[in-house]
């Protein structure tokens, strides 16, 4: 079975906001990191805590491009949607979009690299993770864009 995205609603809390009452932009990155953890645990069925603590496989962001379109306020619920853009031997390219009331609030394009937490060097994506990732099919237009 393949799917193209993983979604999760996130309620904007007081702790996400700055004195102006809107999400302080670094908090979006905290939300996207939590979304990746949830995607591994719930979408891929890979225990993220075990991957880090016991297996010593990390997944740091090595490339990040963010666009902030509209502010989000405390009390709103935004839907975060994670889509796989490309899967390499050592990296995963993802696109995360935050939407509320039909409008895009922010977008984060990230490249994550599987890393040995012992050596600090990139490693090939472990077989079980690669197999789980295969269920998340990149969008055809995204595959074409990465081939050029």
How many percent of the chain have pLDDT more than 70? Answer: 91
- Digit-coded pLDDT (tens) for 79-94: 999 999 999 999 999 9
CATH number for 5-137 (one of 3.10.20.30, 3.10.129.10, 2.70.150.10, 3.90.79.10): it is 3.10.129.10
Q: Is the pLDDT of residue 143 over 50?
A: no
- Digit-coded pLDDT (tens) for 91-111: 999 999 999 999 999 999 999
Report the b/e string of 28-38 with b at 16+ CB within 10 A.
bbebbeebbeb
Element (H or E) spanning 66, and its range?
Answer: strand 61-68
Contact present, 112 and 96 (Cβ < 8 Å)? no
Confidence of residue 136 (pLDDT cuts 50, 70, 90): confident
- Digit-coded pLDDT (tens) for 39-64: 999 999 999 999 999 999 999 999 99
Can you give the pLDDT at residue 140?
A: 57
Distance set, CA 25 to CA 21, 35, 125 (Å):
12, 16, 30
Q: What is the mean pLDDT of the chain?
A: 92
């Amino acid at each position: 079975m393949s799917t193209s995205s993983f979604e999760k609603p996130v309620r904007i809390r007081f702790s996400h906001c700055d004195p102006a009452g809107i999400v302080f932009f670094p908090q979006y990155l905290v939300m996207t990191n939590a979304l990746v953890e949830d995607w591994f645990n719930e979408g891929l069925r890979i225990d993220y805590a075990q991957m880090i603590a016991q297996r010593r496989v990390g997944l740091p962001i090595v490339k990040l491009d963010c666009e902030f379109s509209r502010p989000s306020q405390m009390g709103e619920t935004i839907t975060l949607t994670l889509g796989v853009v490309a899967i390499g031997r050592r990296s995963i390219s993802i696109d995360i979009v935050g939407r509320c009331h039909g409008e895009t609030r922010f977008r984060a394009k990230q490249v994550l690299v599987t890393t040995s937490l012992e050596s600090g060097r990139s490693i090939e994506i472990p077989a079980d993770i690669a197999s789980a990732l295969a269920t998340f099919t990149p969008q055809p237009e995204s595959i074409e864009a990465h081939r050029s």
